[in-house]
Structure 1
């Protein structure tokens, strides 16, 4: 008996191998500075936790409707009105088990076997794997460091073919932290719609922006699929809760898919999410955390530049710095592994994010305290000083 053909096309998340090795070293007594995993080090605000606990104690742990708890869908509709000025009907909002569940719904409702889907390179690796799972083909569109790795409609239009069904874009993006401004995102929405294709806008890092507020694709019409989550800004990763905003044309299809794929998202998490959106104390706490992420970003990008890493542009959102390490190596994977073994600093090599200059880039996640980031920078400084004296170091 053999695994399914499509499943065999799914590539591993290479950073998980590094994380496993980092954990093994910690079990041996080593101290590791973790800058590899994109998970906030903060827990959910106390008001959010209490709302989830109250729901469980009150016995509110039965299935909800497949589309989600009505109170949560209503709260999200208000959220879009207050934050983006978008009048969003609740019927278009579907609660899913994480942003991954929302992406699964969007692609299941849109893709046929043999379709092509355009993706930014570098970009989040699971996009490619989800597309392959449906028998479709991901097509990487290289972005330029000189443009801050920003993906625009001219690049998508040049890559569009007769087999192209649609595109997935992200803002803020992983791994680059790039934000698509209103003109760029609006042109993307208009261009893809003009081709008769679908657009999935991954907005999972909205709220974690360090300049103007990120626009949503919903500001430019009702044809895009929009994905978001309570994992990143709301610091609720393990609660496994995200949402999808679907075009009217796909609402009935998405609901049928949700009924069959998930039955419903975790009920207690949905009650907690209502508090995350509505509780003033929780929102104030989340804003303070955003400011802390900004302080970390400012420190880390300056420190990395001082060490000799190349930075194309300051990351405008999320919690990553995508840095050019070619001054030190032409093999970022070997570089990341040696940095872990020799210096006790865990980072992510570029090959997790595509092919465009992947061997010359690494990603740093500032999802640990400023004190730990400072320790990590000190260790890297010592490590790089040793590398400059020893050209025989692995990967160099």
Structure 2
């Protein structure tokens, strides 16, 4: 949160607005997942927006449901945009969102978060063992961003070969920024451990 507050200081000096994306809030491992609004300076600011969604932590991808926390003076203007773009979420989606906060649902979601951490702990060393370089252990979400330079020259070509020859899907780094994108793949651990290990075996077989 202190890092976000520091970013806010920069945007404020430059006359900008700060938009904080918290869509993966709650899907963290071993670190605090508090909202940026827990910081007093950010909570009181008139130039900070926080966006969140039911898609990730709550597993409601496809319901197209989320929320925006905005400075009070700008709420009316944002309401105008909402009225022109989508009016409001559907009634079933709103009822589903309420159910997501039920204690029994939250218990299931926490168990799922624990399962994601376990999958990460299995997949990360398995990928390293077959030649992927992983500079940082993921502390949130359900992806590993892996350096493929010991295995191939181009992540897009490797991703294509993996899907065509091994039946394993991964996303080239070209979709995630400009820092050495052709050296990286993003690999998701959104399936059970046995399938993750099978995927590693299939990738390893490509090197044989």
TM-score (norm 1): 0.50
Q: What residue number does 1:239 align with?
A: 63
Q: What residue number does 1:326 align with?
A: 149
Mapped contact 1:241–1:266 kept (Cα < 8 A): no
| Post-superposition offset of 1:355 | 2.1
Are 2:50 and 1:226 equivalent residues in the alignment? yes
Mapped contact 1:315–1:321 kept (Cα < 8 A): yes
1:214 and 1:193 mapped to 2: Cα distance? 24
Are 2:134 and 1:316 equivalent residues in the alignment? no
Mapped contact 1:189–1:217 kept (Cα < 8 A): no
The alignment covers a number of residue pairs equal to 203
Structure 2 alignment gaps of length 5 or more: none
Q: What residue number does 1:301 align with?
A: 124
- Name the SS for the 1:238 alignment partner: coil
Q: What residue number does 1:261 align with?
A: 85
1:234 and 1:329 mapped to 2: Cα distance? 36
- Name the SS for the 2:62 alignment partner: helix
Are 2:26 and 1:207 equivalent residues in the alignment? yes
Question: Counterparts in 2 of 1:48-59, with a 5 A limit?
Answer: none
1:191 and 1:267 mapped to 2: Cα distance? 40
Q: What residue number does 1:340 align with?
A: 163
- Name the SS for the 1:239 alignment partner: coil
1:188 and 1:335 mapped to 2: Cα distance? 36
What's the Cα RMSD here?
A: 1.2
Are 2:75 and 1:251 equivalent residues in the alignment? yes
2:33 and 2:4 mapped to 1: Cα distance? 10
Question: Counterparts in 2 of 1:1-396, with a 5 A limit?
Answer: 182-218=1-37, 219=39, 220-221=42-43, 222=45, 223-277=47-101, 279-384=102-207, 386=208
Mapped contact 1:240–1:266 kept (Cα < 8 A): no
> Which protein has greater RCO, CA pairs closer than 8 Å, 6+ apart?
1
State the Cα deviation string for residues 169-213 of structure 1 (Å, max 9, x = none).
xxxxxxxxxxxxx22122112221232201111110111000122
